Amino acid sequence: MGALVATTPTNSGTVTATAVVTATDTIAQALIGQRGALLKINNGNAASDTVTISDAGSTAAGNPLPAGLITDVVANGTSQIYIIHPEQVNPATGLVTITHSVTPTVTYELWSLSF
């Protein structure tokens, strides 16, 4: 399990670099803060990457989400960006969990919006 590291954007620009993913990664609540974060998945693999992001949030009526997960496929050779909301943090762990179906040549970029 890997703890993802975030870059915080600034007005003068911030250098950002990609980093490798693991089969199961986490984002700490401190990186998400009250404004959220942006997560970009870059899939350089020959296969599609099924990305699952935990969501401990609730419906508009306050009920837990049915699956508690967001699942998406990042096609090979493409990138996708996701907004991570503070409500997605699991209150028991303080984490949002991301899993990947493939990891070789799959990288991420994470930007904290708590600035």
Count of structural domains within the chain: 1
pLDDT tier for residue 32 given thresholds of 50, 70 and 90 = very high
Is 101 inside any structural domain? yes
Is 52 inside any structural domain? yes
Of 69 and 49, the structure prediction assigns the larger pLDDT to 49
Q: What angle do CA 65, 115, 16 make, to 5 degrees?
A: 90
Is 34 inside any structural domain? yes
Q: pLDDT tens across 51-73, in order?
A: 999 988 776 666 677 778 889 99
28 contact partners, CB below 8 Å, separation of at least 6:
3, 94, 95
Is 14 inside any structural domain? no
Residues of the domain holding 97: 2-6+19-112
Is 38 inside any structural domain? yes
Is 11 inside any structural domain? no
54: domain CATH number is 2.60.290
What's the CA gap between 61 and 42, in Å, rounded? 35
Is 12 inside any structural domain? no
